[in-house]
Chain A
């Protein structure tokens, strides 16, 4: 086990060196990635120049949801974001090369292109999250401190599961284009706002059916110490851990089904 982990670390290290060999591009990406996500923050701020409350929440509170969603998403993107290139891996035959090596398929693909250039985005997201926490007037208790650390991490695990599960589409549909973005980037946008903004079947489906409500909204409410306007209990904030685990199990099943499908159909 330790041996295998060391091999993966070595693979990731090699990837880092490879990316650093394009020095200028690397720094440009690092800085640029952070700037591009700035558009979303600006959007939230501009919206709050028009209205004092959105879905019943003020700007400081929404920024907690926003920061939490962004931190979780950026961490996931850093580690597994490159799996969205699955279509290319299938089309170019990279996957065949991976299958003839004595290591797991998914870890190899993930180690092939860890997004060091997305580190800027992670740093930026963590700063936003920290700042939003300090502005939001949170009644700190030991359990809230733990939750402030656990929530972005389990959110990250949750998004990792979504990245992998949606990338699996490429096994069936190589030309699926940006389809996966609907749930990965779309999921991030969904969780960036309080779910009271949405309504009807859309909210039920995404917040509860697909679990996105547990990435930022419920942990955010628990941090803020605000009761849920929708009437659910506050301990749901800790549900993010459970939901993340369920998502991982589902994603693993989908992934294995996908690999099995590939082996029986080729590309």
Chain B
């Protein structure tokens, strides 16, 4: 993977164990940092739950009109899809991450280069720590609420659980890479809000947050899965959770996510290298 090569290039004198313990420490700090935002977490949970209710009712109304199934989902599966989506929203953190852009604007980003770890890996580790926290405190509560009020589909197949966790992990990595790239545009653009808005607009729709991408025509579904990282952000783990497709296809979805995770992280390292060159030459 491009990322590891870049890191090892810079750290030839360090061995792998050291790197692992370093990233572990960064991830732990990401976990702790977010565990201090307890009150904000509660507030987001209430909001996520409200939107969960709204979307579930709309989805159930659609199935109610369409008959037993729609686009491959039953009513319970669509309800499950909505609540898993609301829970994962805070885990993959689709919106509201501008750490890097803020550091670029303030110039603090220069200090990232002085750390003995590749910046992309460092930010990724912190983000995984954050996601681990969110998985406990932002994913589970909406699922519980949804399951209490509605009849939501829970996985029948044991293998779904590990597949789901892998898929969430990959979704976090894909989402992180997208956010990183959106933020990194601030290296070149004085005001990167245009890019941010493009991301806001496309991620929700292409990720399957507002409606399952399977509602779209087949050609568009294929284009989204294979041509964009969108469905890898939310649609993949959501589909795996509600077991919309057979095991083979579920594994296939993870394959697509893996492809996007690797590709996007590689792009991140390329962009980071360019940005570093720009900083070194132009002094920021």
Contact = CB atoms under 8 A, between A and B. Distances in A.
| Direct contact between the two chains A and B in their complex (CB within 8 A) | yes
Interface of A: 22, 24-25, 28-29, 32-33, 35-36, 38-40, 42-43, 46-47, 49-55, 173, 175-179, 181-183, 186, 189-190, 193, 196-199, 202
6 contacts: A42-B205, A47-B211, A173-B39, A178-B47, A190-B54, A197-B61
A190 B39 CA distance: 26
Contact of A47 (B44, B47, B57, B215): B215
Given A25-B193, A29-B193, A55-B61, A36 B46 contact: no
B81 to A, nearest CB: 14
A38 B53 CA distance: 22
Interface string B13-51: 000000000000000000000000101100110110111
A50 B71 contact: yes
Q: Which 6 A-B pairs have the closest CB atoms?
A: A177-B43, A32-B197, A179-B43, A177-B40, A175-B39, A182-B50
Main SS of chain A's interface residues? helix
B215 A36 contact: no
Given A39-B204, A178-B44, A28 B191 contact: yes
B193 A28 contact: yes
A42 B216 CA distance: 11
A32 B66 contact: no
Contacts of B54: 186, 189-190
B58 interface: yes
Contacts of B50: 182-183, 186
B210 A39 contact: yes
A178 B43 contact: yes
B194 to A, nearest CB: 5
Main SS of chain B's interface residues? helix
B201 A38 contact: yes
B140 interface: no
A187 to B, nearest CB: 9
A33 B196 CA distance: 11
Contacts, number: 96
B5 interface: no
Given A36-B200, A198-B57, A47 B193 contact: no
Interface of B: 37, 39-40, 43-44, 46-47, 49-51, 53-54, 57-58, 61-62, 65-66, 70-71, 190-191, 193-194, 197, 200-201, 204-205, 210-211, 215-216
B211 A46 contact: yes
Contact of B215 (A33, A49, A178): A49
A59 B188 CA distance: 43
Contact of A182 (B46, B191, B211, B215): B46
A181 B47 contact: yes
Given A47-B58, A47-B211, 7 more contacts: A50-B70, A54-B58, A54-B61, A182-B46, A186-B54, A190-B54, A198-B57
A50 B191 CA distance: 39
Contacts of B62: 47, 50-51, 54
B197 A28 contact: yes
Contact of B57 (A25, A42, A182, A202): A202
Given A178-B44, A179-B47, A182-B50, A52 B201 contact: no
A186 B44 contact: no
Contacts of B40: 175, 177-178
A38 B43 CA distance: 26
Contacts of B211: 43, 46-47
Given A35-B201, A39-B210, A197 B58 contact: yes
**Which of B37, B47, B216 is most buried by chain A, counting CB atoms within 10 A of its CB?**
B47
A40 B193 CA distance: 20
**Which of B46, B61, B190, B200 is most buried by chain A, counting CB atoms within 10 A of its CB?**
B61
A46 B44 contact: no
Contacts of B190: 24
